[in-house]
Copies of this chain bind each other. A is one copy, B any other.
Amino acid sequence: MAWWNTHRDFKNSINKDINPDLASERKFPPFNVEKLTNLLDGGIENTRVRRRVEAAIHSDPVFSRENQYFLSSSERYERGIQKSIHLKKKMVQLGWMKDGPEIQWLNRVLAGDIGFNVHAVFVNCILELGTDEQIAKWIPLAQNYNIIGTYAQTELGHGTYLRGLETTATFDMSTQEFVINTPKVSAMKWWPGDLGRSATHALVLAQLYIKGKNYGMHPFLVQIRSLHNHSPLPGITVGDIGPKMGFEHIDNGYLILRNIRIPLQNMLSRYSQVLPDGRYVKQGSEKINYFSMILVRVSMIDNAVVNTLTKACVIAIRYSVVRRQSELKPGDTEAKILDYQTQQGKLLPQLAAVYAFHFIGPYLHDFYNRVHHEIKSGNFQSLPELHALAAGLKALLTEYSSAGVEVCRRACGGHGYSMLSGLPSLYSYVLAACTYEGENTVLYLQTARYLVKCFASGQSGQSLPQSVAYLTSELSRRCQARDRSDFLRTEIYLDAFKHRACRLIRGAATKLQAMVQSGVKQYEAWNSSSVELLEASMAHCQYIVVKVFVDAVEKLDSDPAIQKSLKHLCHLFALHWIRTNAGSFLHDEYISGNQLDMVTASYLDLLLLLRKEAVILVDAFDYTDEQLNSALGSYDGQVYQRLFEWAQKAPVNHQVNSAYENYMKPLFHSALSKL
C-alpha cells in the first residue's frame, strides 16, 4: 500500500512509535535521566506534583492548545479569559490552595497562555500598598473576578522613566475627592494588560497634587467600566492598542481619564496618606515599592525567560537528530544535522546556557528572601546590591535568551519559520521581556552606576558586598593556562571572567573620573562613558552567571555521572562566552592569542562530547508535548507526519477561496480555449 493511503485518516495517521533517529539517541544515557529531572525540578516530590498538575491540566479540553496557531487574536483572547475563569473553579474542585505546591507549576504547564495576568499585579499591589480596610473591601471582589483590575502605569510617552509620568490626581478638599486627568496625548495610559477589553477597574499611577504642590507618583483605584454593561464610564476613553508581535491573547489597552472623581479612600494608603484637611502623611519607607519591582524581575527570569529558551532548545535539538541533510561522508545516507560541527556550535551553547540560567532563579530568590528578611527588621543595607543584581541579570538573561531562541529557530531552517514549529511564538514571547519591566539598556546602566560606586568605595578602602567583593581582590595579570585542558578547570576561566569584569569596570570608572576632574559636568561624563559602562556592566553580570553555575555544579557531587555532564556544560558555557567576547579577554593580554586557540580547541572537543548527550539533556527537562506545542519538537520525533497533519487542519484549507472566485476564475476560464 502506498504511503499516502495510510495518511488519509488524519487522526490515526501519526505513527506513535518513536522515530528511530530519535530513539537511538536515548539508548545509552550516561546517567539516570529521571534523577536529573528531579534535580531540575528541585526534588523528587516536586516532579511528582508537577506531573500531577500536568495530568490535570492536559486532560481538560478547556486548556487544550490544539489548533492554537490557527486562532485569531480575538479568539486567543477569549480562550485566555475562559481558561482563567475555568482554572479558578478547577483549583477549588481539586483542592489546590493559593499557597499550595501546585501553584508554582501552573505557569509552565499552561505555557503562559492565560488571561488576567495584570489583574494579578493589581491584586498584589492592593495587598502590598493598601490599608487593611482597602484590602478588606477590594481583595475578595478581585480574587473572585467580580471585578477585573489593571495596573495602569506606562503612558504613551513614558515608560521606564517613572518620574516622567504625566497623569495627575488633584485633591479637591471641598468634595474630599481626587480628580484624575490625562493632561495630554502622550499622557494617556498605554500598554497595560487586561485593560483593552476586560478591566472594570484600574490602579492608576498618577502625580499627586495637593494645593498645587506635587507629591510624586501614587496609586489610585479608579472604576473605568460599568459593572452593569461593561461600557466605559463617563469621562473614560478606553480601548485596545491593536496588534502586537506576540501576546495575542492579552488585551493591552489605552486609557484616557477626563476629570474622573474618586473618593479620598481610593488612594492606596499603606505608606502614604492624604488626610481630609489636605495634609500629606508618610509611613514607612518608599523603598518597599522598589522592592516589589525587584520581585517581578526575579520571578520573570524563571517564568518567562529561562523556560522559553529551554523549550526552544528541546525543539531544535530533537529536530536536529531527525532532520537529515547532505552526505557528511560521501556515499553514506544523509547525515543528521546535529552531526555537523556548525549545528553543534549553534545549539549546544544554547543548551549550556539553559542549564546555566536554570541556577540563576534559585540564586536570586535566595538572595531576595534574605534581603526581604533583613528589611523586615529595618535593615535596607543589601537593597542596592540586590537591585543591581536583579536589574543586570534581568537584562543579560532576557537578551541572551532572546538571541538563543532565535539561534534555535534559525537552526531549524525553513521549518523554524512555520508557526507550527512553535519557535516563532517562543521568540516573540521572550523578546518582549527585553523591554518590559525595565528596558535592558537602562537596567544595565543602573547596575553600572552601582558598580562604579562600589569601585570608588573599594578604592577608598571600604569593604564591599559579596557579589562585588572581587573588585578589590588580588588579580593575576596573566591567564595561567598552558594547554587546552587547563581551560576545563573552573578556576582558570572564573579568574578570566573576574579579571575582565574588573578591568572594564575600572576602565569605565577611570574615564568617568578623569572627565569630571577635567571639568566636564557629571551628567555629560556619564553619557559620554555609557557605551563603556554598558560593556562593564555586562561583563560583571556574565561573571556572576558563570560563578553561580560553577558553584551549583560543584554541589552536585552526590551523583558523579550527572555532575560530569553538567561540568561539561559549564565548561562549554564559559568557553563559549570567552570566544564570543574574545576581544575583551585579549585586550590587555590577560589571555594570549595562543591561549585563545586552546579555548577554541577545548570548545570544539566539548561540542563533540555533548553532542552525544544532547537529546538526553533536553529530555531531562521533561516538557510535555502539550507544553512544547511544536510539530518539530515532540517526544516521538515524528516531525514530517505531524507538520503535514497540522497543516491540513489550517482553516484556509477548508474555506471557500474568495480570491479565486473574485479575481482568478475569469482569467483561468479564458485559458481553457487555449490549452
Measuring CB to CB, which residues of chain A are less than 8 angstroms from any residue of chain B? 2-4, 7, 69-70, 72-74, 77-78, 81-82, 85, 140-141, 144-148, 154, 156-161, 164, 182-186, 188, 190-191, 196-198, 200, 227-228, 230, 237, 239-246, 251, 254, 256, 258, 323-326, 328-330, 334, 339-343, 345-346, 410, 413-414, 416-420, 424, 428, 431-432, 434-436, 439, 441, 445, 521, 523-524, 527-532, 534, 579, 581-589, 593, 596, 600, 604, 640-641, 643-644, 646-650, 652-653, 655, 657-660, 662-665, 667-672, 674-675
Residues of B within 8 A of A436 (CB): 414
Residue of B nearest to A83 (CB): B663
- Asked if B78 and A534 sit within 8 Å, CB to CB, the answer is no
A72: B residues at CB distance < 8 A: 72
Please list 26 pairs of residues, one from A and one from B, whose beta carbons are closer than 8 Å in the complex, sorted by A's number: A4-B182, A4-B237, A78-B662, A82-B662, A146-B670, A147-B675, A156-B643, A157-B324, A159-B414, A161-B325, A185-B640, A191-B414, A197-B659, A200-B668, A239-B653, A242-B418, A243-B418, A244-B424, A251-B652, A339-B527, A341-B530, A342-B530, A410-B435, A531-B600, A583-B585, A583-B596
Q: Are A593 and B588 in contact (CB under 8 A)?
A: yes
Q: Which one of B241, B258, B646 contacts A2 once the chains associate, using CB atoms below 8 Å?
A: B258
CB of A664 within 8 A of CB of B419, answer no
Closest CB in chain B relative to A238 CB, distance in Å: 9
**B242 x A69 contact (CB < 8 A):** yes
Q: CA separation between A213 and B259, bound complex, in Å?
A: 84
A441 adjacent to B342 (CB under 8 Å)? yes
Chain B residues with Cβ under 8 A from A523's Cβ?
328-330
Q: How many angstroms from the CA of A135 to the CA of B200 in the assembled complex? A: 66
Nearest Cβ distance between residue A621 and chain B, in whole angstroms? 24
From A324, which residue of chain B is reached at the shortest CB distance? B157
Instruction: Given contact pairs A197-B660, A339-B527, enumerate 16 new A-B contacts (beta carbons under 8 Å).
Output: A4-B182, A78-B662, A145-B664, A146-B671, A159-B414, A185-B640, A185-B644, A198-B660, A239-B653, A241-B418, A244-B419, A245-B419, A341-B528, A342-B530, A413-B435, A582-B584
Structural contact, A242 and B146, CB atoms closer than 8 A: no
On whether the beta carbons of B81 and A671 are closer than 8 Å, the reply is: no
Q: Is the CB of A435 within 8 A of B417?
A: yes
Q: Would you give the shortest CB distance from A72 to chain B, in whole angstroms? A: 7
How far in angstroms is the closest Cβ of chain B from A588?
5
Question: When the two chains form the complex, which single residue of B200, B419, B434, B660 contacts A230, counting CB atoms closer than 8 Å?
Answer: B660
Chain B residues, CB < 8 A from A640: 156-157, 185-186
Closest CB in chain B relative to A316 CB, distance in Å: 14
A575 smallest CB distance to B (angstroms): 12
Those 10 A-B pairs whose CB atoms lie nearest each other, nearest first: A582-B583, A146-B671, A242-B650, A78-B659, A586-B586, A245-B424, A243-B419, A587-B593, A161-B326, A81-B659
Q: Shortest Cβ distance from A503 into chain B, in angstroms?
A: 10
Residues of B close to A141: CB separation below 8 A: 671, 674-675
- The residues of B that contact A147 with a CB separation of less than 8 Å are 668, 671, 675
Contacting residue for A240 out of B328, B346, B650, CB 8 A: B650
Give Cα A96 to B175, complex, Å.
71
Asked if A258 and B4 make an inter-chain contact with CB atoms under 8 angstroms apart, the answer reads yes
For A671, list chain B residues within 8 Å (CB).
141, 146-147, 200, 227
Q: How many angstroms from the CA of A607 to the CA of B658 in the assembled complex?
A: 52
Q: How far is the CA of A414 from the CA of B164 in the complex (A)?
A: 16
Of the candidates B3, B242, B342, B418, the one whose C-beta lies within 8 Å of that of A445 is: B342
